[in-house]
Amino acid sequence: MLEVRNLRKEFGDFVAVDDVTFSLPQRGSLAIVGESGSGKTTTARMIAGLETASGGHILVEGEERGPGHKRQRQRQRLRSGERRARGRQIQMVFQDPYSSLDRRQRVGAAVAEAVALHQRLPADRLRARVAELLDMVGLDDRQAAALPKALSGGQRQRAAIARALAAEPQILILDEAVAALDVSIQAQILRLLADIRARTGTALLFITHDLGAVRHISDDMLVMQAGKIVEHGPVATVLADPQHPYTRRLIASVPKPGWIPRRRMDPAAAARLP
Amino acid sequence: MSATPPLLRIDGLGIDLPLDGEPRPIVHRADVVIPEGAAVALVGESGSGKSLTARAVLGLLPAGARLHGDVAFAGESVAGMAPERLRRFRAGEVAMVFQDPRAHINPARSVGDFLIEGLTLTRGVRAADAVRKVTGILREVGIADAERRMRQRPHELSGGLLQRVMIAAALAAEPRLLLADEPTTALDVTTQEEVMAIIAEAREARGLALLFITHDLELAAAVCDRIVVMYAGSTVEELPAGHLRERAAHPYTRALLSSRPSVFEAGADLRSIPGRPLSGFEVPDGCAFSDRCPRVRDRCRSERPAPSAAGDSTAACHFPYTAPAEEAGCHA
């Protein structure tokens, strides 16, 4: 359903994303794993339309999701109708549930606004749809009537997910969406996302540095390093039998019983760091 | 009482902070003992009071804070230290490394100035000797081109390198106790491993004790001798790190372990804890974890459990687990 071909992003002389190609099937779940500077977030932002690509193609159901490259960028800005149509294809949930909601808008109203943007519904059906979405993410009436600041981080992230689902997107991009949450809350949100995928068929593109979360939520994974894909395959295969040295290094860095932290960086590499 | 007191003893520590003009308990009861040279982890989620407890060790609490219980360093009460003694204590006997190094270094001055300042100002070391000393420590923490780094300003260094600089600054003071508050949480996993290895080597070389504050139980168990788990302002369990996976007695400790998705066990079931972590001031009359606990009974809601020792561990629970845990998370 989503096809990314030879995607590239340059910031001046710096190549942030270099020749990235992958596809995400309908109802699929793909993780892009990498550390800071790997290009994983830039890749996600290009797919969501928040950054323009320097080259390559992004296709959703076979249609180019321009303005992906220069010729199309010269066209006029997207009209609001087109923008809404794109919103029904792809929605994104960000890392920080504290800054991604309007602090003066009640959570129920934020979800209602997102539903109304995509569907013309009479008031009673709009209310029912909002209640359905809030129920799906596990927020009750009291929380729906609250301002974001009255909610915990996990509840805010639930609100952000409900708002993203209002558009009934085919693809939900989650950019480090559980990284800022407490451990016991991360598990709740991961279970919620798995449940949403099973119930609605929304495909998930999970951007993360957390290999444990990947094991739980994704079927396939890409490992990115310095803008390039270095490994790509089913999650269980990659984690059990990593081929690329960098993937091995990532897995070896995860604490587990018997793990002893080691310095692996040679001094010459350390000297090249900024 | 034994003849030599432990390096650090936090005994029934309670901290009240003014909230809306009224003192509210943020930490109810924290108990931590660190023998000389040992590494102890203080593990908890947000609101558990772990960072505030660490700050109490340094006597660094917000204005208006009220303290109960005691923090004693080598038998000497920190609260009872006169200002001059407290200053020497903070400058030379304990050192702290924080989560965000950028917030704790002067961005306008060079890394070198930051590193030698403590030595020249509070210990009267000559500048040239201080430079020689910190250059050596920088090499030790894996910064090969120390001279160049010392001329740079903090913004020119990556987060991982800057955290090494902070560790070097802490080591330069030759402390007996290092307080590390989530020192690797903002770093990439591969950098986290480097930084934890550097801390472990420095401890080994100096016999340095460590209080490691973290939310990550697996990391805590890998680098520390003993684990103290805090929840909503109270110590709920204290146990040897090697016992964590199989012999944790408190339901919160076990729940926290099984709510972390494992990288290594395929098909492991992710068991989430319902509800959210509470802050100290929100705690009901009974056990703070009672609302989220799978083993809750009536008594838990009315009577707060006191810490009770069993073997080599202590747990504050009316109905602790006594049977070993199934190898956590490996059953589908």
DSSP code per residue over B163-182? HHHHHHHHHHT--SEEEEES
Of B201, B263, B272, the CB nearest to A211: B263
**Number of separate domains in chain A:** 1
Residues of chain A positioned with their CB less than 8 A from the CB of B196: 261
Q: What is the mean pLDDT of residues B86-115?
A: 92
Phi, psi of A231 (to 5 degrees): -155, 150
Q: What is the mean pLDDT of residues B29-41?
A: 97
Coil, strand or helix: which one is A8? strand
Q: Do B261 and A216 touch (CB under 8 A)?
A: yes
DSSP code per residue over A210-247? -HHHHHHH-SEEEEEETTEEEEEEEHHHHHHS--SHHH
Statement: residue B43 has pLDDT above 90: yes
What is the share, in percent, of chain B residues with pLDDT greater than 90? 71
Beta bridge partner(s), residue B180 = B97, B212
- The answer to whether the CB of B271 falls within 8 A of the CB of B264 is no
Q: Is B50 left (phi over 0), alpha (psi -120 to 50) or beta?
A: alpha
Residues of chain B positioned with their CB less than 8 A from the CB of A253: 189-190, 192-193
Q: Do B272 and A249 touch (CB under 8 A)?
A: no
Pair of tokens at residue B279 = 């802050």
ipTM beyond cut 0.90: no
Residues of chain B positioned with their CB less than 8 A from the CB of A153: 46
Q: Do B261 and A267 touch (CB under 8 A)?
A: no
Residue ranges, chain A, pLDDT below 50 = 68-70, 73
Domain extent for A35: 2-272
CA distance B292 to B166: 38
Q: Do A236 and B277 touch (CB under 8 A)?
A: no
CATH of the domain at A189: 3.40.50.300
Q: Do A261 and B255 touch (CB under 8 A)?
A: no
Statement: residue B46 has pLDDT above 70: yes
Mutate to test the interface with A, among B190, B225, B244, B291 (most CBs of A within 10 A): B190
Q: What is the mean pLDDT of residues B296-314?
A: 95
Q: How confident is the model at residue B206 (pLDDT cuts 50, 70, 90)?
A: very high
| H/E stretch holding A86 | helix A80-89
Confirm or reject CATH 3.40.50.300 for domain B8-103+176-315, answering yes or no: yes
> Can you give the pLDDT at residue A32?
97
Q: How far is CA B137 from CA B146, B167, B331, in A?
A: 9, 9, 46
Q: What is the mean pLDDT of residues B296-308?
A: 95
Q: Which residue ranges make up each domain of chain B?
A: 8-103+176-315
Quote the strand ranges of chain B, DSSP E.
Answer: 8-19, 22-34, 39-43, 66-73, 76-77, 94-97, 177-181, 209-214, 226-231, 234-240, 308-310, 313-315
Q: How confident is the model at residue B329 (pLDDT cuts 50, 70, 90)?
A: very low
CA distance B128 to B134: 10
pLDDT single digits (tens) B220-271: 999 999 999 999 999 999 999 999 989 999 999 999 998 888 888 766 677 7
Report the mean per-residue pLDDT for chain B.
Answer: 91
- The answer to whether the CB of A176 falls within 8 A of the CB of A207 is yes
Pair of tokens at residue B205 = 């070389």
CA distance B210 to A256: 20
The larger pLDDT score, comparing residue B20 to residue B79, is at B79
> Can you give the pLDDT at residue B330?
37
> Can you give the pLDDT at residue A69?
47
